[in-house]
Amino acid sequence: MAARASLIALLAMAIGFGDWVTGIELPFTILYLVPVALGVRLVGRRFGLAMAILATCWLSASLVHDGASTSSMAWNVSGATVIFLCAVWTTDRLSHYVEQERVMRRLAIDQLRHAERLNVLGTLSAGVAHELGTPLNVIAGCAELVSEESADDRVRRRMRTILDQVSKVSVIIRRLLDFGRRDGHPRARLDLAQVTLAAADMLESTARKRGSRIEVDVGEPVWLEGNAAELEQVMSNLILNAIQAMQHGKVSIRVGTTTRADQPLACVEVADEGCGVPAQNLPHIFDPFFTTKGVGEGTGLGLSVSYGIVRDHAGTIEVASELGHGSRFSVLLPLAS
Amino acid sequence: MTTSSLRLLIADDSSEMRSLVREAIGHAFSDVVEARDGRDLMWLLLRSELTHGGDQLIVTDLCMPYYDGLDVLEAWRELYPDHPTILITAFPSADVRERAAKLKVTMLPKPFSTTSLRRAIREATDGRAG
């Protein structure tokens, strides 16, 4: 940064010296714009302003050296000052716009990469789940047949254990298929506010048991095309995660609309006052089997399934988290046309 | 209706799955035949038209080599629109559900228990009787 500033200042000095030697030449006024614009773009607005002041000083010195009249000096210096300040302002605005675009592009690329990775994981999960389905079915079927044919209680009990375990694996497979599938269940016009309220009501007692409470802020109905059972599952997963992220606190839910890239969208925000998600874990929270919960508290499939359902509804889930202060999950979905 | 007069046609690319279905429900049918892929199923159905007049219950998996279960059933339904049919699938997409409903096929989600298989057969054969 210092090297850049020195080079730009040297350029301004060289132009100023040329101006002083050659007298009043119009091209030099334009040449001064180069260090001014470069100063703003490469170093900063303040440095650009310093270059504008330096250029004005050099211009005044050249005019004095050339014996210009007072009125000519006043006219030239004030005119040049306005031009230099305009150059500072314009370059600063353009730089700001370019930076903004650059950040947006980087974010979009990151999101695309993340979505692509989850897509690959989804396909893999669905494939594995699909392939496991048949052998698992055969195991359960054979255990059932043995159980039916056997009069020995001990054999029947053991077969029951096999069936119970197969049933647990089947639930995991069902959820992996839910995460990996490419199309959803039948859809209808629904009010997202009612869906969210139903999920919040269902988990009210769970929150109370952990010394927490749920607050739902619902305004006007938010209409969209979707599957009510699936979206209720998404809301339940997010609310349950929020409850489990803290011991005593408040789960704040807001249902409404928002905009992204000038597009109006339905939005449900679920915020907790819990421990937050460490920055290094954020890119993995939607990965299947990723969990920070204790053994037996979760399979690590809840958020993956939620992501799969929201993606199938052409929506996204945004996450903002601050360690020690809590997390905010925002589900964004297209509004009904 | 009773199933004892029907032939049972099981189509699945997993031999273990075919054996399971045969052992679970085969005894209730007059005859049991197995197909290991979609082409085999189509061939057995065409042959059965000559020998049985298509009087049979079809239990088929959705995903099989060559032709999937629904493709074969769609072709077969044009000849015998009322035959009791059970489609086994672990991955019923919206498209599959729609096609199965159009063909009036009984869906049996995988993994299934022998109890739910027997229930599906009752449902499929009772529907035929009605």
Asked if A307 and A291 touch (Cβ cutoff 8 Å), the reply is no
Query: How far does the CA of residue A160 sit from the closest CA of chain B (Å)?
Result: 12
Q: How far apart are CA A80 and CA A69, in angstroms?
A: 16
pLDDT tens digits for range A58-106: 888 888 887 778 888 888 888 888 998 999 999 999 999 998 888 888 8
| Closest CA relative to residue A286, chosen from A180, A150, A215, A188 | A180
Please check whether residue B14 touches A, CB under 8 A: yes
User: What pLDDT, in 10s, does the model give residues A112-154?
Assistant: 777 777 777 777 777 777 778 888 889 999 999 999 888 888 9
Nearest C-alpha in A relative to B21: A141
* DSSP letter assigned to residue B81: T
Establish if B15 touches chain A: CB-CB under 8 angstroms. no
> Is B94's CB within 8 Å of A186's CB?
yes
The residue among B17, B19, B119 with the most chain A CBs within 10 A of its CB, best to mutate, is B17
Domain that holds residue B54: 7-129
**Is the per-residue pLDDT at B129 higher than 50?**
no
User: Residue A284 gets which letter from DSSP?
Assistant: G
Q: What's the CA gap between A39 and A95, in Å, rounded?
A: 11
Lowest mean pLDDT, pick from A292-296, A298-302, B95-99: A292-296
Look up residue A312 and give its amino acid: D
Closest partner residue to B24 (CB to CB) among A141, A181, A182 is: A141
Confirm whether B1 is domain-assigned: no
* CATH number of the domain that residue B26 is part of: 3.40.50.2300
User: CB of A80 within 8 A of CB of A63?
Assistant: no
- Asked whether the whole model's pTM tops 0.90, one would answer no
Quick check: is B2 in a domain?
Answer: no
Mutate to test the interface with B, among A131, A136, A137, A169 (most CBs of B within 10 A): A137
What ipTM score was computed for the predicted complex, to two decimals? 0.75
- What is the number of domains present in chain B? 1
Omega into B111 within 30° of 0, i.e. cis?
A: yes
Question: What residues of chain A lie within 8 A of the CB of B110, using their CB?
Answer: 133-134, 137
Per the model's pLDDT, the better-predicted residue between A198 and A109 turns out to be A198
Question: In degrees to the nearest 10, what's the CA dihedral of A53, A57, A60, A64?
Answer: 170
How would you classify the pairing of strands B56-61 and B31-35? unpaired
